[in-house]
Structure 1
């Protein structure tokens, strides 16, 4: 489900920031068709219906931030080595192609973690 607040967040950005955010958004919807969008902590957030945030994303001056929670960053540490990461964040420099295959695997990982918690 596409949320108007997320549409507005993305639409207000410069093209170099809109394109990667749209790519991530599309990817989330492909992996999790039932995903619910909202704005949390002033960032587009993708959640499972009934609760559980999959990821958050945001545009900054020099990078796109992806926030999949610490466990996902640990799990994909090797694949994320070319990027600046912290405990809960990944920074993708503006002007660089996003590693969509890695992001897709992170989304799937987060989805699996949330589904395991439900059972």
Structure 2
């Protein structure tokens, strides 16, 4: 296991399963990722650069695409979710739609590889 898998293993359900699902989607879209740390959080990396990070906080889960432009691009599809410049917050009871996670990973991959 790696940094991301290890950090998720310690979370209680249903948060663990929800974040594992997000990470699984990211790995399926960007198949050649590695695990590591970025900005102090566990993250999937692509070509040595942070692709997405996932974190569980006390009252929400977060995905960090490490790109304000990516958050802005998917924001219209995330009504009802809490957004900031660098993160999208959600819960296991109100998870991110799979197609939005896929789009986040595709957009971030394009940024990394441009």
Fold match by TM threshold 0.5: yes
Answer whether contact 2:63 2:87 (CA < 8 A) is retained.
Answer: yes
| TM-score using structure 2 length | 0.90
The partner residue of 1:76 within 60, 74, 81 is 74
Answer whether contact 2:15 2:56 (CA < 8 A) is retained.
Answer: yes
Q: How many residues align?
A: 113
Pair member with larger Rg: 1
| CA–CA separation in structure 2 for the residues paired with 1:66 and 1:97 | 11
| CA–CA separation in structure 2 for the residues paired with 1:81 and 1:95 | 15
Which segments of structure 1 move beyond 6 Å, counting only runs of 4 or more? none
Q: Which runs of 5+ in 2 are unaligned?
A: none
Question: How far is 1:35 from its partner?
Answer: 0.4
| CA–CA separation in structure 2 for the residues paired with 1:4 and 1:106 | 22
Q: Which runs of 5+ in 1 are unaligned?
A: none
| CA–CA separation in structure 2 for the residues paired with 1:11 and 1:26 | 14
Two-structure CA RMSD over aligned residues (Å):
1.4
